[in-house]
Amino acid sequence: MKYLIVGLGNIGDEYAHTRHNIGFDIADELVKNHNASFETQRYADYTHLSIKGHQLHIIKPNTYMNLSGKAVRYWMNELDIKVDSIFVLVDDLAIDFGKLRIRGNGSDAGHNGLKNINELLQTQNYPRLRFGIGNNYPKGRQVDYVLGKFNSEEQKFLPELIDKSVKSIESLALRGLANTMNEFNK
């Protein structure tokens, strides 16, 4: 089996470690844990690793969030990976901070990265990990909140949540989507 793991985020130091870039942070931790490293290639930073014979191709699109589908479509075609073997790592305002939700498909729920992926792949039937960032912001301040850094209280829990997210990726590769959803959607 081979998978395309897609960490969503925006390139540039000003976006590093913001709520919207949690997909990049999870992908970075996965790659670090397996002693691999990214290299910049077409439309994305890319690396490849193997877990017990299962091939994981990991990308962090460098197209900016709103054009993430361009990188996903390119790498999916380049590596001949089926759409149901894509696993997108994304932030989600509608889920409380500290919660993870893994789904086999679904709408973009207003997320511009998912919206572009759905448009370019012409489907929403691919697995995704939705990392809850909550919606604790004043009216009209959504953009500032999403592009802001996690607060000090949230940062205490981030390493554990990122580690759990990495374990869900490894579980997907080794045990499949249904088993991973059963374990991690508690």
Distance CA 128, CA 149 (A): 22
Give the per-residue SS3 of the chain: CEEEEEECCCCCHHHCCEHHHHHHHHHHHHHHHCCCCCEEECCEEEEEEEECCEEEEEEEECCCHHHHHHHHHHHHHHCCCCHHHEEEEEEECCCCCCCEEEECCCCCCCCHHHHHHHHHHCCCCCCEEEEECCCCCCCCCHHHHHCCECCHHHHHHHHHHHHHHHHHHHHHHHHCHHHHHHHHCC
Could you confirm whether 20 is annotated as catalytic? yes
Residue of 17, 20, 34, 57 with catalytic role: 20
Catalytic residues: 20
